[in-house]
Chains A and B, each alone.
Chain A
Amino acid sequence: MIKNPWLQILYGVLLALLLDGLLFHSGIYARYLDPRSTAGELHGLLTVAKPKEMRGAVAVVGDSRIAEGFSAKLADAMGGGVRFVNLGIPGTTPRVWHYFLRELDPDARRFSAVVIMLPNYDETSKENFNDRTLDLSYLAPILRYGDAAPVAGSFDSRDARSRALLFTFLRGVAYKQDILDFILHPAERLKNVNGYIEKRWRAIYDYPGRPDSLEGVSVDSAGRLRFPASIKPELKPLLQTYLAEMHYDERLQHHERYRALWLGRIAERYRNSRLFIFQIPRGPLHYLKPAVAPFGVLAKLEANVLPADAFTAFERPGFFFDQLHLNARGREGFSKALVARILPLLK
């Protein structure tokens, strides 16, 4: 009989952690995650990308620009027996890719090569990726208790660190919205979970890319955007913002820190394997801004960092359907160009 109330409180806290662990860390609940959610998508990809047939494939890792812009089917066709796998997860960043690869490839020997995209070698965006708490939503199903300190420590702000600790120890917090949705619509969830990822995986493989194009978009001598009549109105402000941001030139220190940490960790895991890093076609108007050769952390990484101009030929409006993503034509051209670059290096 426990009589000391403080001991009872301690047991209560430990019991709550145990229950959370049993429900959410054990993977029991992860099977029922909404496959369309961030955590569900990542968990689903892990499920379908784990089988043995993926062994020896070339993994192409990135965000939505890889999901849209790279075709594993085309790559397989010209790979001469080398298989490719598209691991592009919309909204993800190197921090997520590191833990995703760790989960998918625990001994760092599953893939014959890992090919990682970077949006720009010369990163000048104003977002501080160190403090990107959205990463935690993706990482929820794969973080372990031991990750608490390194993950929390990788964020800059106190709020983000607290959130990271909370998400690592109490995974129910991360799944909250998903659980509520499951409770309110159980039948729909069970229907969605069944076979969704397998179907989506096949759809990704056969996906030809988006047919629409920004062909005709240009910049006049005064630096203003000119649009053809066919352009969708909702794209205009996005392209205006993209053009303004393209001219940012300030290199912020936090980008270097972020790359040093997360690309460094990925390179560390794959130091005995083949790791490739490349700059994805940056945008439809980036032909106006010369690509900058790898510098700083990138230049020192133990990895094959492809030249900055490897794929700049695709930085034209005709290869894009919006300010970030390659269209069907761009997808085809870029996929072939990537395979052509990688294959000789694999031999």
Chain B
Amino acid sequence: MLFTSLIYWPFFLLVALLCGLARGRLRVLILVIASLLFYAYWNTLLVWALLGFTVFNYLMSLVIGRSRALLALSIAADLAVLGFFKYYNFLVASAAGLFGFSAEPFILNIVLPVAVSFYTFEAISYNVDIYRGDVQPRKSFLDFALFLSLFPHLTAGPIIRPSNFFPQIDHGKHSDAGVRWGVLQIVKGLIKKMVFADNLAPVSTQFFGHIGSSPDAVSAWAAVLAFGLQIYCDFAGYTDIARGCSRILGFDFPSNFERPYLSADIAEFWRRWHISLSTWLRDYLYIPLGGNRRGAARTYLNLLIVMGLGGLWHGASWNFVVWGLYHGVLLAAHRFTSGFVSRASFWYSRAMVPVRVAFTFLLVNLGWILFRAPDFHASLLTLKALFAFRHGADYSLLLLPALLLAISLAWCLADRGRKLQHYLFEGGGLRFPLSFATSLLLIEIFAKTDIAIPFIYFRF
């Protein structure tokens, strides 16, 4: 059930209505049932996999206490589930390529459970936090099931933390302002996804889906720029809708994107992009590996390990690993250069901020080539094509990505500090209905509805 499908919204309104009428434990029960129904809409069988995973982690959480062995067992089991569903065939194929045997007899027809990467990380953080003493194990199975499965965030995050989530079950955040804020997020998300991402998708698909032997620079730049904008609008759009729906149901999830393409360096980018994943990787991988406490060389190595694994988390492909390592190298290089370029230098001056933002945007977009291209060969062809300027190229390909980029920049300038959007959607009176109606009309006219384009992060 996609957020952009017609069936989702009556479903959501019904759940919101039932939750509004119910109190206490009944509300939790309604949300768990609704979440399982939401998940079953994709695949009924996989609901049992999710339930089994939930029961196992719930039971482990009750017995882990301070036992390192039990924590290791729970993490190993969770990673085994993720590894089997997501990486088994990839590992077999990679081993076959390395050792020169046929992978075919070992390849299994595995259906990847939707959201497995997200709920595995949430379960791991829950058990680790219990072991660390940061949270108490939840006695109620329903509470824990809701933590893993609450439908707005189930399929593509944000990855929520137990310390943020459980207090909200006990002290739900229902308010008129919360509903208005939720509607604002939903409208923003729908515009990002349906108007921006879905209209840009054909530009990148046309290029990456049919890379010939010698693509030209204009089509390559158009595709790279289109995909860079598409993946942001797609994923941030999903997150906005997820946060908006959750808020209406009484849950406040942390921000996952903070206008990342306005970052002035790569470290800042990762503080503003997929924040729930990057903070998870920081807290449960980078810091346990030693973080930056064990000298410069180890810090750089840790960055490469964390970003490489973060890349692999996205999908079973070496392209994702190399994409992660590329960002690891950028972060290490940033850290290295920060050591001897003074913050008072001209490079860090106010005048240079637009240049630094543009430079960071360029580096990130070059990285997306690895993320989007079907294989290394296609990635290399695309990189080469960026410099293959030819006479008679079709410059109209750049029109849509450039137009949508310009509109986004203009909006960010007009809406500095997000004051404008809150002004339009806050308070009583007619301001809210007018803004809401105008947004709906924008979606009606400019959203791409002739083809269904799934959210990119659903496959992760």
Asked if residues A173 and B449 are in contact (CB atoms below 8 Å), the reply is: yes
Among the listed B6, B428, B432, B437, which residue makes an inter-chain contact with A16, where contact means beta carbons less than 8 Å apart? B437
A149 to B344, CA, bound (A): 68
A172 interface hit (Cβ, 8 Å):
yes
Task: Produce 1/0 per residue, B389-419, CB < 8 A to A.
Answer: 0000000000000000000000000000000
A103 interface hit (Cβ, 8 Å):
no
A11 to B433, CA, bound (A): 6
Among the listed A19, A162, A180, which residue makes an inter-chain contact with B441, where contact means beta carbons less than 8 Å apart? A19
Task: Produce 1/0 per residue, B428-454, CB < 8 A to A.
Answer: 111011111110110011110110000
If A162-B6, A173-B444 touch, whether A5 touches B179 (CB-CB below 8 Å) is yes
Asked if residues A20 and B441 are in contact (CB atoms below 8 Å), the reply is: yes
Task: Produce 1/0 per residue, A2-14, CB < 8 A to B.
Answer: 1111101101110
How many B residues, CB 8 Å from partner?
23
A5 to B16, CA, bound (A): 13
- Closest CB of chain A to B13's CB: distance in Å? 10
16 other contacts beyond A15-B437, A19-B441, A173-B444, with CB at 8 A cut-off? A1-B428, A2-B433, A3-B176, A5-B180, A8-B432, A11-B430, A11-B433, A12-B437, A13-B436, A16-B438, A18-B437, A19-B437, A176-B445, A176-B446, A176-B449, A177-B450
A157 to B200, CA, bound (A): 29
Closest Cβ neighbor of A1 among chain B residues: B428
Among the listed B183, B445, B449, which residue makes an inter-chain contact with A5, where contact means beta carbons less than 8 Å apart? B183
A246 interface hit (Cβ, 8 Å):
no
A8 to B425, CA, bound (A): 10
Asked if residues A172 and B445 are in contact (CB atoms below 8 Å), the reply is: yes
- Closest CB of chain B to A347's CB: distance in Å? 50
Task: Produce 1/0 per residue, A56-85, CB < 8 A to B.
Answer: 000000000000000000000000000000
How many A residues, CB 8 Å from partner?
26
A170 interface hit (Cβ, 8 Å):
yes
Q: Which residues from B are CB-within-8-Å of A12?
A: 432-437, 440
A11 to B445, CA, bound (A): 20
A176 to B449, CA, bound (A): 9
For chain B, what secondary structure do more than half of its interface residues adopt (helix, strand, loop), or is it mixed?
helix
A260 interface hit (Cβ, 8 Å):
no
Can you identify 15 A-B contacts, CB atoms within 8 angstroms?
Answer: A2-B428, A5-B180, A5-B183, A9-B433, A9-B436, A12-B436, A16-B440, A166-B6, A166-B449, A172-B441, A172-B445, A173-B449, A176-B444, A176-B445, A176-B449
Asked if residues B444 and A5 are in contact (CB atoms below 8 Å), the reply is: no
If A5-B183, A13-B437 touch, whether A170 touches B444 (CB-CB below 8 Å) is yes
- Closest CB of chain A to B203's CB: distance in Å? 14
Asked if residues A179 and B433 are in contact (CB atoms below 8 Å), the reply is: no
Q: Which residues from A are CB-within-8-Å of B434?
A: 12, 15
Q: Which residues from B are CB-within-8-Å of A2?
A: 428-430, 433
- Closest CB of chain A to B185's CB: distance in Å? 13
Q: Which residues from A are CB-within-8-Å of B429?
A: 1-2
If A1-B429, A8-B433 touch, whether A179 touches B445 (CB-CB below 8 Å) is yes
A254 to B450, CA, bound (A): 25
- Closest CB of chain B to A53's CB: distance in Å? 37
- Closest CB of chain B to A11's CB: distance in Å? 4
Closest Cβ neighbor of B7 among chain A residues: A162
- List residues of chain A with CB under 8 Å of any chain B CB: 1-6, 8-9, 11-13, 15-16, 18-20, 162, 166, 170, 172-173, 175-177, 179-180
Nearest 9 CB-CB pairings of A with B: A12-B436, A15-B437, A11-B433, A16-B440, A5-B179, A12-B433, A16-B437, A3-B428, A172-B444
Q: Which residues from A are CB-within-8-Å of B444?
A: 16, 20, 170, 172-173, 176
Asked if residues A5 and B432 are in contact (CB atoms below 8 Å), the reply is: yes
Closest Cβ neighbor of B179 among chain A residues: A5
If A16-B444, A166-B6 touch, whether A8 touches B180 (CB-CB below 8 Å) is yes
Q: Which residues from A are CB-within-8-Å of B438?
A: 16
- Closest CB of chain B to A3's CB: distance in Å? 4
Asked if residues B441 and A16 are in contact (CB atoms below 8 Å), the reply is: yes
Task: Produce 1/0 per residue, B263-278, CB < 8 A to A.
Answer: 0000000000000000
Asked if residues A4 and B436 are in contact (CB atoms below 8 Å), the reply is: no
A173 to B440, CA, bound (A): 11
A20 to B440, CA, bound (A): 10
- Closest CB of chain A to B382's CB: distance in Å? 28
A11 to B432, CA, bound (A): 9
Closest Cβ neighbor of B176 among chain A residues: A5
- Closest CB of chain A to B385's CB: distance in Å? 27
A170 to B449, CA, bound (A): 12
Asked if residues A16 and B180 are in contact (CB atoms below 8 Å), the reply is: no
- Closest CB of chain B to A12's CB: distance in Å? 3
Task: Produce 1/0 per residue, B221-264, CB < 8 A to A.
Answer: 00000000000000000000000000000000000000000000
By CB atoms of chain B within 10 A, which of A9, A12, A15, A175 has the most? A12
Q: Which residues from B are CB-within-8-Å of A175?
A: 445
A8 to B181, CA, bound (A): 13
Q: Which residues from B are CB-within-8-Å of A4?
A: 176
A227 to B382, CA, bound (A): 46
Q: Which residues from B are CB-within-8-Å of A16?
A: 436-438, 440-441, 444
- Closest CB of chain A to B91's CB: distance in Å? 38
Q: Which residues from A are CB-within-8-Å of B445?
A: 172-173, 175-176, 179
A179 to B448, CA, bound (A): 13
Asked if residues A6 and B179 are in contact (CB atoms below 8 Å), the reply is: yes
Q: Which residues from A are CB-within-8-Å of B180?
A: 5, 8
By CB atoms of chain A within 10 A, which of B441, B444, B447, B450 has the most? B444
Closest Cβ neighbor of B434 among chain A residues: A15
Asked if residues B6 and A9 are in contact (CB atoms below 8 Å), the reply is: no
- Closest CB of chain A to B201's CB: distance in Å? 15
- Closest CB of chain A to B426's CB: distance in Å? 10
Q: Which residues from A are CB-within-8-Å of B176?
A: 3-5
Asked if residues A8 and B437 are in contact (CB atoms below 8 Å), the reply is: no
Q: Which residues from A are CB-within-8-Å of B440?
A: 12-13, 16
Q: Which residues from B are CB-within-8-Å of A9?
A: 179, 183, 433, 436
If A15-B434, A15-B437 touch, whether A8 touches B428 (CB-CB below 8 Å) is yes
Closest Cβ neighbor of B435 among chain A residues: A12
Asked if residues B430 and A180 are in contact (CB atoms below 8 Å), the reply is: no
